[in-house]
């Protein structure tokens, strides 16, 4: 497989529609994430943001349109195959393994990575989130919300992904922890060149961090552009930045 050119697309979503039974959740969505780019997706509750990330992971799979990763069509692949191609997902609600220790959660994150890199990757995650080092043997379910979010992101990083999908990492966290999490996301992108698709309600922080952004309204992309432009766009300011 030839290496993709610099600046080429990491993720290309073309005209994707998705539905839960008769409920249509995505309607002809077009979205791109470039290599090494942070792209944020903002939108109201129920707009379909989580659905889009889940559709990238193949459940539900897209009803129409195409999803390509590094040029390869992944639309019809099962979830674990998509993960094996370099997509890691820190899902909404975190979904960490509650009865398992932090270390075991991180080990599971490394399912697809080369075992030889395990120690190095673990070290990186624990440097990024020193809090996790203190709690390495604690059960996931007994961690605080912020710590659980760190586990979810750390677990995704253990797979050495090319594309990291983050679904509302700031949900329910105190402002100080939100800043920590966003700083960590920036750091991951800068230090490893990981491409990131960030779903956020916290549009203020997300647009400050991202290179580009999309606004999803009722399953359709309503706006897209440079993050800095979106941040000053009157529509966006009214709807998502509290005026």
Partner 1 sequence: MPAFRIAAVLGLPLIGFKLVDQSGGEGLATRWPDLGAAIAIVFMGRFALSMIAEGATLSALAIGAGAVIAAILVPWPSVFLNVIALGGAALIVLRAAYGLAGPRPVAVIGAWVKPAGRLAPWALIVFALSLPLFGDRYVLDSATRITTYVMLGWGLNIVTGLAGLLDLGYAAFFAIGAYVTAILGAGFGLSFWECLPLAAAAAAASGVLLGFPVLGLRGDYFAIVTLGFGEIIRIVANNWRSLTNGSQGVGGVPHLNFFGLADFTANPANGHPSFSQMFGVPYRPIQRVVFLYYVILALALAVNLFTRRIRVLPIGLAWEALREDEIAAQALGVDRRRVKLAAFAIGAAWGGVAGAFFATQQGFVSPESFGFIESVMITAIVVLGGMGSQLGIVLAAILIIGLPEFFRFMQEYRQLVFGAAMVAIMRFRPRGLIATRRPSVTSR
Ligand X SMILES: Nc1ncnc2c1ncn2[C@@H]1O[C@H](COP(=O)(O)OP(=O)(O)OP(=O)(O)O)[C@@H](O)[C@H]1O
* CB 186 to Mg ion: min, Å: 22
CA distances to 72, 89, 208, 219 from 140, in Å: 35, 17, 30, 33
Task: Name the strands in the sheet holding 72-73, side by side, starting at the edge strand that comes first in the sequence.
Answer: 23-34, 9-20, 64-69, 72-73
When asked if residue 140 is in the footprint of ligand X (CB under 6 A), the reply is no
CA distance 72 to 89: 18
Question: Interface with partner 1 includes 171 (CB under 8 A)?
Answer: no
Position among 16, 25, 159, 164 found at the interface with partner 1 (CB under 8 A): 159
Q: Does 49 bind ligand X (CB under 6 A)?
A: yes
Residues in 172-231 that interact with partner 1 by CB under 8 A: none
- Residues contacting 53, CB < 8 A, separation 6+: 89, 91, 92, 165, 167, 197, 199
For 207, the token pair is 């647009």
Task: Report the nearest approach of partner 1 to the CB of residue 76 (Å).
Answer: 15
Give the one residue of 29, 40, 51, 135 binding ligand X; rule: CB under 6 A: 51
What is Dmax (Cα atoms) for the chain?
Answer: 50
**Nearest Cα to 145, choosing from 109, 179, 172, 182?**
172
Rule CB under 6 A: say whether 50 interacts with ligand X. yes
Q: Which is nearer to partner 1, 149 or 233 (CB)?
A: 149
Report H helices in 158-218.
Answer: 175-192, 203-209
Q: How far apart are CA 194 and CA 215, in angstroms?
A: 22
Min dist CB 197 to partner 1, Å, is 14
Strands of 44-120, DSSP E: 64-69, 72-73, 87-90
Classify residue 114 as exposed, middle or buried by CB count within 10 Å of its CB (0-12, 13-18, 19+): exposed
20 binds ligand X (CB under 6 A): yes
Q: How far is the CB of 240 from partner 1 (least distance, A)?
A: 27
Identify the residue among 30, 50, 107, 201 touching partner 1 (CB under 8 A). Answer: 107
**Interface residues with Mg ion (CB under 5 A)?**
50, 92
- Cβ proximity to ligand X: between 25 and 132 the closer is 25
Residues that bind ligand X (CB under 6 A): 20, 23, 25, 43, 45-51, 92, 201
Residues that bind partner 1 (CB under 8 A): 57, 59, 78-80, 83-84, 88-89, 91, 95-101, 103-104, 107-109, 111-112, 136-137, 139, 155, 159
């Amino acid at each position: 497989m030839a290496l993709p050119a610099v600046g080429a697309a990491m993720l290309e979503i073309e005209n994707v529609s998705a539905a839960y039974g008769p409920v249509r959740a995505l309607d002809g969505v077009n979205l791109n994430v470039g290599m090494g780019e942070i792209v944020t997706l903002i939108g109201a509750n129920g707009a379909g943001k989580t659905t889009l990330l889940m559709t990238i992971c193949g459940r539900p799979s897209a009803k129409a349109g195409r999803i390509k990763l590094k040029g390869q069509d992944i639309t019809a692949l099962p979830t674990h195959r998509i993960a094996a191609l370099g997509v890691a997902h820190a899902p909404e609600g975190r979904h960490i393994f509650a009865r398992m220790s932090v270390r075991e959660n991180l080990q599971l994150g490394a399912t697809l990575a080369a075992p030889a890199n395990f120690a190095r990757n673990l070290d990186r995650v624990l440097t990024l989130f020193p809090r996790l080092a203190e709690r390495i043997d604690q059960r996931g379910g007994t961690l605080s919300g912020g710590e659980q979010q760190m586990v979810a992101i750390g677990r995704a990083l253990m797979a050495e992904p090319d594309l990291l999908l983050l679904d509302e990492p700031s949900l329910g966290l105190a402002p100080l922890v939100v800043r920590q999490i966003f700083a960590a996301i920036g750091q991951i992108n800068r230090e490893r060149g990981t491409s990131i698709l960030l779903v956020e309600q916290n549009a203020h922080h997300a647009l400050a961090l991202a290179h580009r952004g999309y606004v999803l309204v009722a399953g359709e992309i309503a706006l897209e552009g440079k993050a800095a432009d979106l941040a000053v766009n009157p529509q966006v300011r009214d709807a998502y930045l509290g005026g």
